[in-house]
Amino acid sequence: EAQVTQNPRYLITVTGKKLTVTCSQNMNHEYMSWYRQDPGLGLRQIYYSMNVEVTDKGDVPEGYKVSRKEKRNFPLILESPSPNQTSLYFCASSLRSGLAGEGDTQYFGPGTRLTVL
Amino acid sequence: TQLLEQSPQFLSIQEGENLTVYCNSSSVFSSLQWYRQEPGEGPVLLVTVVTGGEVKKLKRLTFQFGDARKDSSLHITAAQTGDTGLYLCRGLREYGNKLVFGAGTILRVKS
C-alpha cells in the first residue's frame, strides 16, 4: 500500500530537549516536504527536498533542521524545541513539486501532534 | 496575510443543503488544487485545475477555476455528513513559482 508514515504520532516534550520526527514514503517519490498546521494559519511549509541530498527552506524554517540521506526518508529535527513549536506537523511526498498533473499530487502522512512545555 | 484567502472559515449546515466555499487571491496562479482533511488524518487531494474557466465535477462536488486564474470555488450539492472536514486550497503562484496553501474552511454537516 502506497503511504507516507510518520513517527511518533503524538509527542509531549520540554523546552530544549532535542527531538526527531521521522517520515518515510514507499512510493519512490523525489519531492518531500514538511508542514506545520496551526489554527487560522493553514499549512505552512517548513522545509522541502527535491531529491537525495537536496534540501531547501520553506516559509517557516527557523528552529528546524532536515536531512535527506535516502530517497524514502526525510526526518525533521528540532535541536532545541520551544513552546512556539507546539503544532501539528505533516510530512508529504510527491513525484514532482509542481501542480500540473497527477505527478504533483502530494500524499500526506497522518500527522504528528507535538506539544512543547 | 495569506496569499490564498479561503471563505468562509467555518460553515455548519444541515444534511441535504448546498454550499459553496471560496479560495481567492490577488495573484495569478498557474494551477490550483483542493484537498479535504478529516480529523486525525492528513489532507487528501480532491482535484487539480489548471486552465482558467475550467470546471471539474467529482460526484456531488463541482470545482471551478476563475477565468483570470485568481480564484476558485468548490460547490457541494446535497451535502452529506461524510462531507464534514477541513477543505484546503493549494496553488502554484505564477510569479515566483511559489506553492501556497489557504488556511482552510471547516465544514460541518449535521444530520
CB contact under 8 A, A40 and B103: yes
The reported pLDDT for the residue numbered A103 is: 54
The reported pLDDT for the residue numbered A61 is: 97
The reported pLDDT for the residue numbered A100 is: 59
The reported pLDDT for the residue numbered B13 is: 97
β-bridge pairing A19-25 and A42-51:
unpaired
CB contact under 8 A, B41 and A42: no
Q: How far is B20 from chain A (nearest CA, A)?
A: 19
Residues of chain A found within 8 Å of residue B104, distances taken between Cβ atoms = 42
**Does B54 score more than 80 pLDDT?**
yes
Q: Are A85 and A117 in contact (CB under 8 A)?
A: no
Residues of chain A found within 8 Å of residue B90, distances taken between Cβ atoms = 43, 99, 106
Least CB–CB distance from A111: residue in B33, B42, B45: B42
The reported pLDDT for the residue numbered A98 is: 64
Interface test with A, best of B45, B88, B93, B106 (most A CBs within 10 A): B45
Residues of chain B found within 8 Å of residue A98, distances taken between Cβ atoms = 30-31, 92, 97, 99
**Does B96 score more than 80 pLDDT?**
no
Q: Which three cell numbers stand for residue A93?
A: 511526498
Residues of chain B found within 8 Å of residue A44, distances taken between Cβ atoms = 101
The reported pLDDT for the residue numbered B100 is: 87
CB contact under 8 A, B43 and A90: yes
CB contact under 8 A, A110 and B91: no
CB contact under 8 A, B42 and A101: no
Mean pLDDT for chain B? Answer: 93
Q: Looking only at Cα atoms, what is the longest distance across chain A? A: 42
> If you average pLDDT over residues B80-109, what whole number do you get?
91
The reported pLDDT for the residue numbered B89 is: 95
Least CB–CB distance from A98: residue in B9, B92, B101: B92
The reported pLDDT for the residue numbered A102 is: 53
Least CB–CB distance from A108: residue in B42, B50, B92: B42
d(CA A39, CA A23): 23
The reported pLDDT for the residue numbered A99 is: 63
Given a cut of 70, the residues of chain A with pLDDT beneath it are: 98-103
H or E element: which one contains A48? strand A42-51
Q: What percent of chain B has pLDDT over 70?
A: 98
Tens-place pLDDT, residues B19-53: 999 999 999 998 899 999 998 899 999 999 999 99
Q: Output helix, strand, coil percentages for chain B, rounded to the nearest 5.
A: 5, 55, 40
Q: Output helix, strand, coil percentages for chain A, rounded to the nearest 5.
A: 5, 50, 45
